[in-house]
């Protein structure tokens, strides 16, 4: 089969399209004939050797995919050959075939196309577990989303609206903010032009935000932390702008909390909550509350170009690889 292969830590342009043997499913795994997969910022971190897990070489990157089950391991009970699934993968999504643990696979609704399914899980579930189970966002609260047009940021905007919050979107360009507005954001902040802290104070009449969803980090984290209301919660999601330090005194003075939220934790330790998240998200999608944005599509051999879109900060919504 054809796959995009990583043979050493490096950049997207070090990846090569190669002909390799297909993987074999373990007893608790299914083999998937991949129809589409999705590019995540984490793919770029993984191939650089800076991700939480460092697969043995050679490996195909790609953390999520959609396709048809072609083979099942002996212990698999929920799926059979011919079923359409969307799946979280340890890696291996940028290949014609991939294996996934049964527990990481979900049936694709008949009315959901392959491209939406391939990009549904990481984007929506990462944001849902963070906002719903970690921060416990309540109806009527204010949610500030940084990187609000990005892969996970845009889903956080939609999830905030589905939960009845007032959503303030932060992004670096007016075009990106327009996208966040089309997906439900009530208020917009261009944090490249304006002070995030000052604009949040204006919008919230000095009260601050109840929850901040932060996949960016870096200097913005400090401003976002200062912008939290009494009892506010900041969700530490990712560090595309750098890993920030947290001054403990600023947590104490307003009873604020900084909360890490990792999708990986839910996959390993709380699959019950993760499955509840997928169920709620699919029902919201059916009701039209979630409108996934696929902004670009690439063939398998152009995975390096697709990853570069994210690294060069041009991506909005999700970028898909068609197999
Ligand atoms: N904790 C979890 O469970 C979890 C799950 C999924 C992803 N993540 C993490 O979340 C982060 C975002 O992932 P993603 O797939 O959504 O990425 P993405 O689509 O590239 O979005 C990242 C956003 O960050 C902003 N940004 C600020 N500085 C940037 C820079 N130097 N380079 C690129 N973007 C920059 C961009 O918006 P502006 O230009 O508007 O600032 C961009 O839209 C990553 O760190 C990823 O590892 C965490």
Integer Cα distance of 174 and 189 in angstroms: 9
Nearest to 233 by CA among 260, 266, 215: 260
What atom of ligand 1 comes closest to residue 318's alpha carbon?
19
Residue 271 lies in a domain: no
For ligand 1, whether the C-beta of 262 sits within 6 Å is yes
**Are residues 313 and 249 part of one domain?**
no
The structure tokens listed for 319 are 């970028």
**Are residues 151 and 107 part of one domain?**
no
Ligand 1 pocket mutation pick from 63, 131, 147, 243 by most atoms within 8 angstroms of CB:
147
Residue 278 lies in a domain: no
**Are residues 57 and 10 part of one domain?**
yes
pLDDT of residue 5: 98
**Are residues 256 and 139 part of one domain?**
yes
Nearest to 192 by CA among 225, 212, 216: 216
**Are residues 258 and 132 part of one domain?**
yes
| Number of domains observed in the structure of the chain | 2
151 Cα: distance to centroid of ligand 1 (angstroms): 7
- Can you give the CATH number for the domain in which 34 is found? 3.90.180.10
For ligand 1, whether the C-beta of 88 sits within 6 Å is no
Residue 158 lies in a domain: yes
Residue 280 lies in a domain: no
**Are residues 39 and 137 part of one domain?**
no
Integer Cα distance of 73 and 164 in angstroms: 42
pLDDT of residue 296: 98
Which neighbouring-strand residues pair with 202? none
223 Cα: distance to centroid of ligand 1 (angstroms): 17
- List the domain range (segments joined by +) for residue 96: 2-120+292-322
What atom of ligand 1 comes closest to residue 236's alpha carbon?
1
What atom of ligand 1 comes closest to residue 237's alpha carbon?
1
Could you list the pLDDT tens digit for every one of the 323 residues in the chain? 999 999 999 999 999 999 999 999 999 999 999 999 999 999 999 999 999 899 999 999 999 999 999 999 999 999 999 999 999 999 999 999 999 999 999 999 999 999 999 999 999 999 999 999 999 999 999 999 999 999 999 999 999 999 999 999 999 999 999 999 999 999 999 999 999 999 999 999 999 999 999 999 999 999 999 999 999 999 999 999 999 999 999 999 999 999 999 999 999 999 999 999 999 999 999 999 999 999 999 999 999 999 999 999 999 999 999 99
């Amino acid at each position: 089969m054809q796959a995009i292969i990583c043979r050493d830590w490096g950049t997207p342009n070090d990846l090569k399209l190669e002909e390799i043997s297909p993987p074999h499913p373990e007893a608790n795994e299914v083999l998937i004939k991949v129809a589409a997969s999705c590019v995540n910022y984490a793919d770029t971190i993984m191939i650089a050797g800076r991700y939480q897990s460092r697969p043995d070489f050679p490996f195909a990157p790609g953390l999520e995919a959609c396709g048809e089950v072609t083979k099942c391991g002996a212990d698999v009970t929920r799926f059979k050959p011919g079923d359409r699934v969307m799946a979280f993968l340890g890696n291996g999504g940028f290949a014609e075939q991939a294996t996934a643990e049964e527990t990481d696979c979900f049936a694709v609704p008949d009315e959901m196309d392959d491209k939406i399914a391939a990009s549904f899980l990481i984007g929506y579930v990462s944001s849902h577990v963070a906002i719903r189970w970690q921060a416990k966002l309540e109806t009527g609260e204010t949610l500030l989303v940084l990187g609000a047009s990005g892969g996970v940021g845009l889903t956080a905007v939609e999830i905030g609206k589905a939960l009845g919050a007032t959503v303030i979107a932060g992004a670096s360009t007016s075009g990106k903010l327009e996208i966040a507005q089309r997906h439900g954001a009530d208020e917009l902040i261009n944090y490249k032009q304006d002070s995030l802290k000052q604009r949040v104070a204006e919008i919230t009449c000095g009260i601050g935000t109840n929850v901040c969803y932060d996949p960016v980090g870096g200097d913005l984290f400090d401003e976002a932390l200062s912008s939290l209301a009494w009892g506010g919660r900041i969700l530490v999601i990712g560090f595309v702008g750098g890993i920030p330090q947290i001054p403990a005194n600023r947590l104490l003075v307003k009873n604020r909390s900084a909360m890490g939220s990792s999708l990986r934790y839910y996959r390993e330790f709380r699959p019950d909550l993760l499955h509840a998240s997928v169920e709620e998200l699919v029902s919201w999608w059916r009701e039209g509350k979630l409108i996934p944005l696929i902004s670009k599509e690439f063939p398998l051999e152009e995975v390096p170009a697709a990853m570069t879109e994210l690294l060069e900060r041009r991506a909005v919504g999700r970028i898909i690889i068609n197999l």
